[in-house]
């Protein structure tokens, strides 16, 4: 079976405070975009090990055992021992360390795919809980629809938001921003406008009301990211912001324009 984990962007990201459990309370809106990885799982007979994992495409850092797809398999195996040994192959197209949620999407889609492929009948609320064990962003990809997220990102309220009338440019300079470092740079503050209210405003007004609290610190260390945002506005974006803790910046336009003069050819640039 093959599935296509998709990326997301954050429309606003306000980090309110740090919790006693070490996580942070935040407000954000998750919105899906059409940049996709490819994930295939195949059952294997007489396998020596429960999961054989391979990958192609963009390089994946870290130990293979820590890949969220592999962790997803073991989480399900623990509660559904009948899950057979598999081969799993991941082709990476979504840039990593980029604020697009690619790793989280892969893990969440692995949970859903294994459940469907092997008819394990794990209910959606249990899948959401398993996804949270993988990471704070993972439950969103179980629902995979526009949501206002609070708590550590796992309290999800679907919202009526459709940006299909606009063109969205995704620009990534190839900088890997470590999420832990980004959180350590934050100064906590209460937003002047609650994101739940600001997201209901016309898109043309978002520039003055919707912010990403990570931007100032990340852009101070990586001025290229601030330059991308400025270039997107110069190209005619009606709203531009960094997604997550960076380094991807997106711009919302009334229509597609030629961005080739604004960014180096080495940058990842895509209309979605």
Active site residues: 8, 137
Burial tier of 129 (Cβ tally within 10 Å: 0-12, 13-18, 19+): middle
Distance CA 264, CA 272 (A): 19
Task: Give the torsion sign (CA, 255, 95, 216, 234).
Answer: negative
Place of tokens 């995979």: 144
| Angle, vertex CA 100, rays to CA 98 and CA 101, nearest 5 | 110
Phi, psi (deg, nearest 5) at residue 4: -130, 80
Q: What letter does residue 205 receive in the DSSP assignment?
A: G
Break the chain down into helix, strand, coil percent, rounded to 5. Answer: 30, 30, 40
Taking each helix axis from N to C end, the angle separating 124-134 and 68-79, rounded to the nearest 10 degrees, works out to 130
Phi, psi (deg, nearest 5) at residue 122: -80, 125
């Amino acid at each position: 079976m093959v599935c296509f984990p998709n990326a997301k962007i954050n429309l606003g990201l306000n980090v309110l405070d740090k919790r006693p459990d070490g996580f942070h309370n935040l407000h954000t809106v998750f919105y899906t975009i059409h940049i996709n990885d490819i994930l295939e799982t195949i059952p294997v007979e007489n396998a020596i090990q429960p999961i054989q994992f391979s990958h192609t495409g963009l390089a994946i850092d870290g130990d293979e055992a820590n890949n969220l797809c592999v962790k997803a398999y073991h989480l399900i195996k623990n509660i559904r021992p009948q899950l057979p040994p598999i081969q799993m192959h991941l082709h990476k197209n979504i840039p990593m360390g980029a604020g697009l949620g690619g790793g989280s999407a892969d893990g969440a889609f692995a949970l859903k795919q294994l459940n469907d492929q092997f008819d394990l009948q794990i209910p959606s609320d249990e899948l959401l809980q398993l996804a949270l064990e993988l990471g704070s962003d993972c439950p969103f990809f179980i629902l995979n629809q526009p949501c206002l997220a609070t708590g550590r990102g796992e309290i999800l309220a679907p919202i009526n938001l459709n940006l299909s009338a606009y063109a969205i440019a995704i620009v990534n300079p190839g900088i890997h921003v470590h999420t832990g470092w980004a959180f350590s740079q934050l100064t906590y503050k209460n937003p002047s406008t609650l994101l739940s209210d600001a997201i209901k405003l016309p898109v043309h007004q978002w520039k003055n009301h919707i912010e990403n609290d990570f931007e100032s610190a990340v852009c101070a260390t990586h001025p290229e990211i601030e330059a991308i945002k400025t270039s997107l506005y110069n190209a005619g974006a009606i709203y531009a912001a960094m997604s997550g803790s960076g380094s991807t910046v997106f711009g919302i336009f009334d229509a597609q324009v030629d961005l080739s003069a604004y960014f180096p050819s080495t940058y990842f640039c895509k209309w979605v």
